[in-house]
Amino acid sequence: MMGRDEGTTRGIDRRHFLRLLGATGGTAAVFGAMDAWGMIAASAAEAPPDLEGSADGRRVIILGAGLAGMTAAYELAKLGYETPIIEARDFAGGRCQTARRGFVQTEVTGRTQRALFDEGQHFNHGPWRIPYHHRSTLHYTREFDVPLEIMVNDNPNAWAYREEEDGNPFSGERVRIRELRADIGGYTAELLAKAVDQSRLDDELTEEDRERLIDYLVSFGQLDRSALEYRGTGGRGYEEDPGAGLNPGVPSDPHAFRDVLSHGAINSFRAIDSHTQKNTMFQPVGGMDQLARGFERAVGHMIDYGQEVVEIRQNDDGVRIVVEDRGTGETREVEGDYCLCTIPLSVLNQIPSDLSPEFSQAMNQVTYASTGKIGLQFGRRFWELDDHIYGGHTITNLQGIGNITYPSYGWQEQKGVLQGYYNFGSDAIEVSAMTSAERTRFALEAGSKIHGEAYEREFETAFSVAWHLIPYSLGGWASWSSDARQNAYPILNEPDGRILLAGEHLSYMTGWMSGAIESAWIQMEKIHQHAQATATRVQEAA
Amino acid sequence: MTNHRKHPIRRRARAVIGRGSLAALLVALAAGLMLAYGAAEAEDTVEPEPAEQETVDVDLPEDWFEQGETLYLQNCSACHQSAGDGIPGAFPALAGNPFVTGHPQGIVHLLLNGRAGMPAFGGLPDEELALITSYVRNAWENEAHPVDADMIATVRDGDELDLESGGPMERPGAGQ
Ligand SMILES: Cc1cc2nc3c(=O)[nH]c(=O)nc-3n(C[C@H](O)[C@H](O)[C@H](O)COP(=O)(O)OP(=O)(O)OC[C@H]3O[C@@H](n4cnc5c(N)ncnc54)[C@H](O)[C@@H]3O)c2cc1C
């Protein structure tokens, strides 16, 4: 409906408004506003910066072979820079990893898990989806020939489950998401259509508006045209599906409006999915780490694996990185002209360095998300065979579980790995305090409430992660308060002497691979500009 | 899980806090902060001067220590460990950490807002944060003034806690 102050918002066009904001509140205000409008929260950059000039023998020491580090190495090397990458893990990709048979993970607690999934099965315990508008990520999947497939991110045929609870009409019951969506949409449309029809909204609407709105509501809610009533619809599913011969099918009855209103799952329905969750959603065929493998094919020869950065030093002329070999425990020093550090801030703030006090203080303003997932391998795809669920998420209010997600690969094969929980914050912390066997039990008990005894019977093996306990990550992703975004974040985007940072934490796409990649693009350009400027100065002096 | 719980009948616990010199306290606080989060090379800790006694009322349930322990095990122990000894290089120890037992303003602010990678726990209700804070300040060998929900609310509102000190103190009434 049109607001009263319609005139004032119309008076200023959006671009002008952003400029005004920029003038009064600085870039942070502009970004904040754009975020809120979902305008550039999208990954805005399509391709790496088009840089000219040559490296002139400069050496950029890159800390971390995650996506940010490998992006910078790949692009800087094209310009002729020497770009050794120091990586603490034994593999490239950082958080972009996938658990498959033999994958070993040791938490800072010392707890070790080895994935025992069957050959051919895998679980993306870290990143798992690529939205169509993350053009930077898609730039590299194309560049490195990483085949993609669809990740089903929304499935109305999955379940909505409510925990047992007194007075809840859906207590301990599973219903199809499609039923709730059809019913809440239908009833709401009915109410509104009747109000419009009875001229109750005439202050807001012209005669023509009224007719059009009613047409829209009839179609949106699937209402009976003459009575303007919602009586259910084929889209919510049938009692018995239509078939061949003399089987027209048996329509289903809607739930009562009041009951639907009390089903908490309706509060996750949106007119349009949020910006990062919309179709088309992709995943690399064979696991998200295939993207990391793509990068590694190009820059793997530059990576020094199993080498932990233990000190970061600099002076006016260059940088000196102290590195400890995790195998031998021996330390050595690596020198260069610049350092591009992509180590997560949760880890970096514990590494002794020559970063300025202002910079270190800014780093301390960030918090990291606690988050966990579990992959459960089942011997039979009962969700496909019995429930006709192909990908997507079952929504629950089971604490510590959140959604259960069905695999978007290997359709109709015998076995599959589903995601048994994806938790955050206190829930993630609490579940992470459990042993891996306890986590599995926790996940199985919850899932059995929805899928019955098949969930226990068909279960074969599990692999869980708690990102806040993973060495060299210590958290899922950076999380900036609006205060820190304004006061600390801009500082960290600037060079501190010859050290620059990059990674998902230096983006407005925290928790997304695009954030890591595009941050690397921005920071490597700064290095190149500095190198060009100083090279010219040297030449002029000569 | 962190469901809201009903608190048993409250009792006013009477706590006695030591009153050291403010300067010494600040030095200890700063050193504690460095130990806890951030600087890799902590400086020498300066012990606060011997203290006079200051008495402050806190509004906590009788079994605050036990309740605090339960909440601590749920919300904190995954990282800081049930013995409070943390994990070197990843999560600081809380046992014997002067930042934890120092003036409560610092630790309460940290819990509410997070810092240096540690997530914010501002989503928990004030009562639970009070129990957690009081627990970590008195678990293991720690001894410090417990904190109640009003004090959490004060810091949440961005105000300073009206305590002269808050350093080492006698353990109040109920407890271990
Ligand atoms: C549970 C989860 C789900 C996610 N889902 C998605 C998703 O669906 N889509 C998406 O796009 N993104 C997703 N993300 C985010 C994505 O994984 C990250 O944004 C991205 O991988 C970060 O890349 P990076 O290069 O910035 O950091 P990292 O990948 O963390 O790279 C940093 C590198 O530095 C190394 N390092 C650390 N310390 C040291 C040291 N002392 N010495 C040497 N090396 C060191 C690390 O080993 C690592 O290789 C998800 C993340 C998580 C945790």
Q: How far is the CA of A175 from the centre of ligand 1 (A)?
A: 36
In terms of Cα–Cα distance, which of A359, A358, A502, A363 is closest to B115? A363
Mean pLDDT, all residues of chain A: 92
A370, closest residue in chain B (CA to CA): B119
Would the ipTM clear 0.90, i.e. be above it? no
Q: How far apart are CA B57 and CA B41, in angstroms?
A: 37
The verdict on a CB contact (< 8 Å) between B40 and A432 is: no
A105 has which bridge partners?
Answer: A113
Write down the CATH superfamily of domain B1-176: Cytochrome c-like domain (1.10.760.10)
Q: How far apart are CA B29 and CA B128, in angstroms?
A: 24
Residue A344 CA: distances (Å) to CA of A367, A432, A475: 11, 20, 9
The verdict on a CB contact (< 8 Å) between A360 and B1 is: no
Q: Render the burial of A375-392: b for 16+ CB within 10 Å, e for the rest.
A: bbbbeebbbbeebebbbb
Query: Average pLDDT in the B110-129 region?
Result: 94
The verdict on a CB contact (< 8 Å) between A426 and B123 is: yes
- Please report the DSSP string for chain B in residue order: -----PPPPEEEEEEEEEE--HHHHHHHHHHHHHHHSS-SSPPPPPPPPP-EEEEEEEEEETTHHHHHHHHHHHHTHHHH-TTS--BTTTB---TT-HHHHS-HHHHHHHHHH-BTBBPP-TTS-HHHHHHHHHHHHHSTT-------HHHHHHHHTTPPP--S---SBPPPSS--
Q: What is the pLDDT of residues A3-59, one digit of tens each?
A: 333 333 334 444 444 444 444 444 444 444 333 333 333 446 889 999 999 888 999
pLDDT at B116: 86
The verdict on a CB contact (< 8 Å) between A349 and B116 is: yes
In terms of Cα–Cα distance, which of B172, B130, B166 is closest to B32? B166
Which chain A residues contact residue B115 at CB under 8 A?
A: 364-365, 367
pLDDT: is A409 or B172 the higher one? A409
Q: How far is the CA of A475 from the centre of ligand 1 (A)?
A: 9
Pocket residues: Cβ below 6 A from ligand 1: A 63-69, 86-89, 94-96, 126-130, 308-309, 342-344, 347, 351, 371, 373, 467, 472-473, 476-477, 503-504, 511-516
Helix (H) or strand (E) holding A430: helix A425-432
Residue extents of the structural domains in chain B: 1-176
Q: How far apart are CA A102 and CA B91, in angstroms?
A: 28
Does the structure show a pLDDT above 80 at A84?
yes
A478, closest residue in chain B (CA to CA): B117
Ligand 1 pocket test: pick from A95, A374, A474, A500 the residue with the most ligand atoms within 8 Å of its Cβ.
Answer: A95
Query: Average pLDDT in the B35-43 region?
Result: 44
pLDDT: is B81 or A540 the higher one? B81
Which chain A residues contact residue B42 at CB under 8 A?
A: none
Instruction: Report the atom number in ligand 1 closest to the C-alpha of A128.
Output: 8
Closest Cα to atom 4, ligand 1: which residue? A127
The verdict on a CB contact (< 8 Å) between A469 and B121 is: no
The verdict on a CB contact (< 8 Å) between A429 and B117 is: no
Q: What is the pLDDT of residues A255-274, one digit of tens each?
A: 999 999 999 999 999 999 99
Instruction: Report the atom number in ligand 1 closest to the C-alpha of A323.
Output: 42
Closest Cα to atom 35, ligand 1: which residue? A64
Of B41, B116, B120, the CB nearest to A352: B41
Confidence class of residue A536 from pLDDT cuts 50, 70 and 90? low
Does the structure show a pLDDT above 90 at B166?
no
Confidence class of residue A232 from pLDDT cuts 50, 70 and 90? very high
Chain B interface includes A479 (CB < 8 A): yes
Question: CB contacts < 8 Å between A and B, how many?
Answer: 91
Q: What is the pLDDT of residues A311-327, one digit of tens each?
A: 999 999 999 999 999 99
Which residue type sits at A372?
A: G
pLDDT at A245: 97
Segment 134-173 of chain B within 8 Å of chain A by CB: none
pLDDT at A166: 87
Confidence class of residue A374 from pLDDT cuts 50, 70 and 90? very high
The verdict on a CB contact (< 8 Å) between A108 and B89 is: yes
How many C-beta neighbours within 10 Å does residue B40 have? 14
Chain B interface includes A168 (CB < 8 A): no
Query: Average pLDDT in the B147-153 region?
Result: 95
B124, closest residue in chain A (CA to CA): A426
User: Which tokens in the block code for residue A238?
Assistant: 């049938």
Which of A324, A432, A474 to mutate: most B Cβ within 10 Å?
A: A474
Query: Average pLDDT in the B47-60 region?
Result: 63
Which chain B residues contact residue A353 at CB under 8 A?
A: 40
Q: What is the pLDDT of residues A404-455, one digit of tens each?
A: 999 999 999 999 999 999 999 999 999 999 999 999 999 999 999 999 999 9
Confidence class of residue B55 from pLDDT cuts 50, 70 and 90? low
Does the structure show a pLDDT above 50 at B168?
no
> Residue with structure tokens 């409906």?
A1
Closest Cα to atom 14, ligand 1: which residue? A127
Q: How far is the CA of A473 from the centre of ligand 1 (A)?
A: 7
Q: What is the pLDDT of residues A174-230, one digit of tens each?
A: 999 999 999 999 999 999 999 999 999 999 999 999 999 999 999 999 999 999 999
Does the structure show a pLDDT above 90 at B47?
no
Q: How far apart are CA A319 and CA A61, in angstroms?
A: 8
Q: How far apart are CA A363 and CA A344, in angstroms?
A: 10
Q: Is A368 helix (H, G, I), strand (E, B) or coil?
A: strand
Which chain B residues contact residue A109 at CB under 8 A?
A: 81, 87
Q: What is the pLDDT of residues A60-80, one digit of tens each?
A: 999 999 999 999 999 999 999
Residue A527: what are its φ and ψ, rounded to 5°? -60, -45
Chain B interface includes A322 (CB < 8 A): no
pLDDT at A24: 43
Of A346, A433, A469, the CB nearest to B117: A346
Residues A82/A58, Cβ–Cβ less than 8 Å: yes
pLDDT at A165: 86
Peptide bond connecting A106 to the previous residue in cis, omega within 30 degrees of 0? no
> Residue with structure tokens 């959006």?
A14
Residue A258 CA: distances (Å) to CA of A183, A193, A194, A493: 11, 18, 18, 51
Instruction: Give the up-direction half-sphere exposure of residue A10: CA atoms within 13 A in the CB hemisphere.
Output: 6
Residues B93/B80, Cβ–Cβ less than 8 Å: yes
Which residue type sits at A383?
A: W
Q: How far is the CA of A369 from the centre of ligand 1 (A)?
A: 12
Residues A126/A103, Cβ–Cβ less than 8 Å: no
Q: Is A146 helix (H, G, I), strand (E, B) or coil?
A: coil
Look up the pTM and report it. Answer: 0.86
In terms of Cα–Cα distance, which of A106, A78, A108, A68 is closest to A90? A106
Residues A275/A315, Cβ–Cβ less than 8 Å: no
Which chain A residues contact residue B2 at CB under 8 A?
A: 426-427, 430
pLDDT at B173: 36
Instruction: Report the atom number in ligand 1 closest to the C-alpha of A64.
Output: 34
**CB burial class (10 A; 0-12, 13-18, 19+) of residue B49?**
middle
Does the structure show a pLDDT above 80 at A505?
yes
Does the structure show a pLDDT above 90 at A125?
yes
